[in-house]
């Protein structure tokens, strides 16, 4: 049996107008139960849609109501004795369940003085109402949709007034309010202003999550070079599935690399426990105690945990080392630049994030540079040059597009000329994080390849570097694992990664190229040789 995840379209919070849509039979509960529920929802700040009787004219649900249903995070359906006597209510219910399937809308059924089995089986007042609808010659297809919707909705987890709070409405409403607040306060993460190129990757990861046994703890790693969109992808996946974990047993721990360095592992353990257990504070004295608490408190819970930007094994060891730490059906997603970290875990799958294709790259750049997919013709050629320079890396496309927005063609030419000599500082900063985490031997080999050996045969490079006293084989393997290098017969770097390495060398001595450890610009090589400025102890390679 396979694990089933609802993988609908999933609307972002910015597309929603309401927290809650109330579906109810007006003559039954508008001035009693539903009216009281609506008032209390508003009092606690829940933006709730309740219809006006003026909207209910004719036999078909109005477009205003359909729109309100689609733009609500949660739909509360109040089943009362006369609910099914209204074709409007039944059409609303069909629409609500459609939104549940397509948009992951949360549906909360309430059984107010009716037995859930009567709704599910269409007996009692519900069966009588459907029989009358049949006499009114409603179409067979519409009738079947109503019946299916009633059966499905009554099978969902909800509230039965007679079996909760001893039938006291005030306590009953209080428990509903508590659940609604839990749902609406667990909001989707902000993914990206223009989520271009995500769909195929989301589908790939959803397939990984759907494989395996139903009760298995799924552990999936997402790896790739800095700026390729690992965090964005992880957020998108989180938004697609977090409601399937009760809307509460979820934790997205961002930027673990810097937080572990700044706060320590114990604080990260506390954050995981606090977010999932919904407590403001959780005191952990040591990493060992934190591990024991995670196992004890989360071992029976179905949880969704995303660990974003992991860069050291200790972070995984202290937070999600074993699947047995979590309840059946849990999902653990890890993003990292270092693929080797994932091989050390019992991950089900490793997903290698992809660069954008040419069409996706153009769309993303145009959106950020022009707020349009149709720029002025005078910009097109320059835009294509910059898109090519970015090499499908989302970080570069977004950064450069935003940087150039609103500038003249002359300014674009000037900025692009500068880019070819000096990388944009924001791109350099993100990419250099991977370099800074390397040991001295691997850093040196990386810079040598960036400056002199890009596109060269592996055997020739290792032979040359080993002769210079480096351990090139292990360094190259590390660079491949950290997505800084591709190795087939030849060694190949993404252009922006190569430019990052060359910028590191340039910054060793920005004004005097003769004092740099490596030379790669032909004009600078000529200047140094003609000026007799070569410092043999510092300059390792001259690549004309």
Residue ranges in 77-191 assigned as alpha helix (H): 87-103, 116-121, 124-135, 140-154, 169-185
Torsion of the alpha carbons at 516, 518, 523 and 525, rounded to the nearest 10:
90
pLDDT value at residue 140: 84
pLDDT value at residue 544: 41
Of 70, 92, 183, 503, the catalytic one is 92
The first and second tokens of residue 188, run together, are 């989707």
Q: Is the pLDDT of residue 536 over 50?
A: no
Contact 501, 451 (CB under 8 A): yes
- Alpha-carbon distances, residue 294 vs 26, 300, 301, 322 (angstroms): 48, 10, 11, 11
Contact 443, 479 (CB under 8 A): no
Q: How far apart are CA 285 and CA 270, in angstroms?
A: 10
Q: Is the pLDDT of residue 10 over 80?
A: no
Q: How many CB atoms lie within 10 A of CB 447?
A: 21
Q: Is the pLDDT of residue 59 over 70?
A: no
pLDDT value at residue 538: 41
Q: Is the pLDDT of residue 74 over 70?
A: yes
pLDDT value at residue 540: 52
527 falls in which pLDDT band (50, 70, 90)?
confident
380 closest CA partner among 418, 357, 403, 412: 412
118 falls in which pLDDT band (50, 70, 90)?
very high
Q: Is the dihedral of CA 372, 376, 382, 385 positive or negative?
A: positive
Q: Is the pLDDT of residue 541 over 80?
A: no
Q: State the Rg of the chain over Cα.
A: 30
Least confident of 165-179, 267-281, 378-392, 472-486: 165-179
What mean pLDDT is predicted for residues 338-367? 89
Q: Is the pLDDT of residue 6 over 70?
A: no
pLDDT value at residue 526: 82
- Give the percent of the chain with pLDDT over 70: 91
Least confident of 82-91, 221-230, 279-288, 353-362: 279-288
Helix axis angle, 440-448 relative to 472-481, nearest 10°?
80
pLDDT value at residue 537: 43
pLDDT value at residue 182: 78
pLDDT value at residue 35: 92
Q: Is the pLDDT of residue 309 over 70?
A: yes
What mean pLDDT is predicted for residues 89-101? 93
Q: Is the pLDDT of residue 420 over 60?
A: yes
Q: Is the pLDDT of residue 425 over 90?
A: yes
Span 439-463, pLDDT tens digits: 999 999 999 999 999 999 999 999 9
Known active-site residue 262: no
62 falls in which pLDDT band (50, 70, 90)?
confident
More confident residue, 105 or 57: 105
Q: Based on the number of CB atoms within 10 Å of its own CB, is 137 exposed (0-12), middle (13-18) or buried (19 or more)?
A: exposed
Chain-centre distance of CA 264, in angstroms?
25
Q: Is the pLDDT of residue 194 over 70?
A: yes
More confident residue, 246 or 233: 233
Q: Is the pLDDT of residue 311 over 50?
A: yes
Q: β-strand 106-111 against 159-160: which pairing, if any? A: parallel
pLDDT value at residue 58: 52
pLDDT value at residue 260: 94
pLDDT value at residue 60: 59
pTM over 0.85: no
pLDDT value at residue 65: 87
379 falls in which pLDDT band (50, 70, 90)?
very high
What mean pLDDT is predicted for residues 77-88? 93
Q: What does 206-265 look like in DSSP terms, one character per residue? A: HHHHHSSBTTPPEEEEEE-STTSSHHHHHHHHHHHHGGGGTTTSEEEE--HHHHHHHH-H
Residues 6+ apart with CB under 8 A from 158: 108, 109, 110, 111, 116
pLDDT value at residue 167: 60
| Average pLDDT score, the chain | 88
Q: Based on the number of CB atoms within 10 Å of its own CB, is 418 exposed (0-12), middle (13-18) or buried (19 or more)?
A: exposed
8 falls in which pLDDT band (50, 70, 90)?
very low
- Alpha-carbon distances, residue 514 vs 21, 443, 452, 506, 530 (angstroms): 70, 20, 16, 10, 11
Q: Is the pLDDT of residue 284 over 80?
A: yes
């Amino acid at each position: 049996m396979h694990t089933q995840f609802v993988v609908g379209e999933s609307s972002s919070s910015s597309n929603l107008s309401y927290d809650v849509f109330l579906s109810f039979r007006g003559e039954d509960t508008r001035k009693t139960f539903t009216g009281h529920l609506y008032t209390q929802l508003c009092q606690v700040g829940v933006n709730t849609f309740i219809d006006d009787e003026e909207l209910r004219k004719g036999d078909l649900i109005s477009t205003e109501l359909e729109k309100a249903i689609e733009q609500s995070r949660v739909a509360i359906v109040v089943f009362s004795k006369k609910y099914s006597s209204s074709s409007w209510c039944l059409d609303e219910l069909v629409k609500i369940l459609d939104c549940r399937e397509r948009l992951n809308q949360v549906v909360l059924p309430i059984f107010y003085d009716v037995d859930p089995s009567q709704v599910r089986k269409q007996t009692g007042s519900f069966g009588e109402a459907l029989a009358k609808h049949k006499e009114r010659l409603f179409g067979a297809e519409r009738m079947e949709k109503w019946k299916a919707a009633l059966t499905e909705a009554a099978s969902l987890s909800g509230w039965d007034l007679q079996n909760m709070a001893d039938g006291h409405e005030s306590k009953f409403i209080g428990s509903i309010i508590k659940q609604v607040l839990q749902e609406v306060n667990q909001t989707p993460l902000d993914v990206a202003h223009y989520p271009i190129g995500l769909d195929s990757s989301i589908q790939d990861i959803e397939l990984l999550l759907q494989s395996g046994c139903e009760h298995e703890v799924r552990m999936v790693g997402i790896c790739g070079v800095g700026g390729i969109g690992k965090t964005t992808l992880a957020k998108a996946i989180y938004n697609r599935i977090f409601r399937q974990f009760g809307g509460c047993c979820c934790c997205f721990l961002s930027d673990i690399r810097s937080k572990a360095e700044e706060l320590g592992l114990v604080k990260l353990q506390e954050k995981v426990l606090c977010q999932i257990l919904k407590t403001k504070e959780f005191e952990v004295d040591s990493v060992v105690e934190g591990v024991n608490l995670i196992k004890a408190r989360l071992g029976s819970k179905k949880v969704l945990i995303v660990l974003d930007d992991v860069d050291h094994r200790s972070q995984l060891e202290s937070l999600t080392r074993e699947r047995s730490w979590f309840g059946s059906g849990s999902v653990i997603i890890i993003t990292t630049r270092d693929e080797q970290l994932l091989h050390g875990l019992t991950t089900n799958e490793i997903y290698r994030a992809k660069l954008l294709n040419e069409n996706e790259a153009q769309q993303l750049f145009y959106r950020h540079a022009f707020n349009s997919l149709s720029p002025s013709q005078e910009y097109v050629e320059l835009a294509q040059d910059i898109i090519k320079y970015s090499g499908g890396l989302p970080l570069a496309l977004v950064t450069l597009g935003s940087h150039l927005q609103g500038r003249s063609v002359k300014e674009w030419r000037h900025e692009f000329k500068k880019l070819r000599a000096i990388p944009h500082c924001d791109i350099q900063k993100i990419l250099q994080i991977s370099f800074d985490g390397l040991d001295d031997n691997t850093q040196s080999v990386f810079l040598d390849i960036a400056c002199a050996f890009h596109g060269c045969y592996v055997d020739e490079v290792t032979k040359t570097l080993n002769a210079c006293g480096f351990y090139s084989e292990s360094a190259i393997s590390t660079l491949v694992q950290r997505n800084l290098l591709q190795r087939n017969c030849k060694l190949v770097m993404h252009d922006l990664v190569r430019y990052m390495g060359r910028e590191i060398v340039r910054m060793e001595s920005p004004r005097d190229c003769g004092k740099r450890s490596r030379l790669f610009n032909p004009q600078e090589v000529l200047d140094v040789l003609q000026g007799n400025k070569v410092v043999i102890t510092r300059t390792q390679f001259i690549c004309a």
